[in-house]
Amino acid sequence: MDTASRTAIVTGGSRGIGRAVAVRLAAAGQDVAVVYSSNAKEADAAVGEIEAAGARGIALQADVADEDTIAGAFDTVEQRLGPIDVVVNAAGIMALQPIRELDLAQLDRQLRTNVRGTFVTAKEAARRIRPGGAFVAFSTSVTRLHLPAYGAYAATKGAVEALIPILAKEMGDRDVTVNAVAPGPTATELFFEGKSQQVIDRIAGLSPMNRLGTPEDVAELVAFLAGPGRWINGQIVFANGGAA
């Protein structure tokens, strides 16, 4: 598929997997709006990488769980970059605690960003994406790997997985595909935070390739779903190097 003259929005696009996705879409010829929560410096750096890839880029601050600020961000994208073709909701937070020790305030934070944020972004995307476009959300391979301490995070992503096939059916008559990508352990700041090298090595060993994924590994899949992968719809697609 020729993805030139297309416009994409990537939430959580200032760092990690979201940033790699934004740059990869730009390399495919799509103009990209990076929606970020708080780190303006990183968002501006991401825009610099988008422009270096030959596309137009802008950075917009918004809370994905707030429908007014997300609607405003979508308005700005349409005004500055044009009609929206692709929305990738990569924004998310993760706090690890055993269920017996779970801080319910942390659970509420994750529910707000990971579940409500996905619904708010999906709702706006469903109203705006042009025919032939795509919506890509993020789940996690932990919903299948069942790693200790990931209970709250996996539960929020289970809700995302429930949303995807329903939204795909609702969007089918507009020729818009809806999928979620479920990365395995990936080398990002979010993953490394609070983990010892021993734990990192053990988790990397879950894959027969004996390594962590990279943000670029995941970005390749997102770019396919957001471009030529038109017959993949309503799916949760795992990108984890065979981790089990």
Catalytic residues: 153
**Full DSSP string of 79-109:** HHT-S--EEEE---------GGG--HHHHHH
Tokens of 232: 């993949």
Helical spans, DSSP H, in 97-188 = 104-110, 117-128, 142-145, 151-171
- E strand or H helix at 78, and its extent? helix 67-80
Strands of 147-241 (E only): list them: 177-183, 236-239
Separation CA 220–CA 93 (nearest Å): 22
Packing angle, helices 40-52 and 16-27, rounded to 10: 20
Question: Do 138 and 89 contact (CB within 8 A), yes or no?
Answer: yes
- Calculate the alpha carbon distances from 236 to 53, 89, 136, 163, 165 in Å: 29, 14, 10, 10, 9
Residues making up the chain, counted from first to last:
244
Strand partners, 6: 30
Q: Using the 8-state DSSP alphabet, how is residue 66 labeled?
A: -
Sort strands 86-89 and 134-138 into parallel, antiparallel or unpaired: parallel
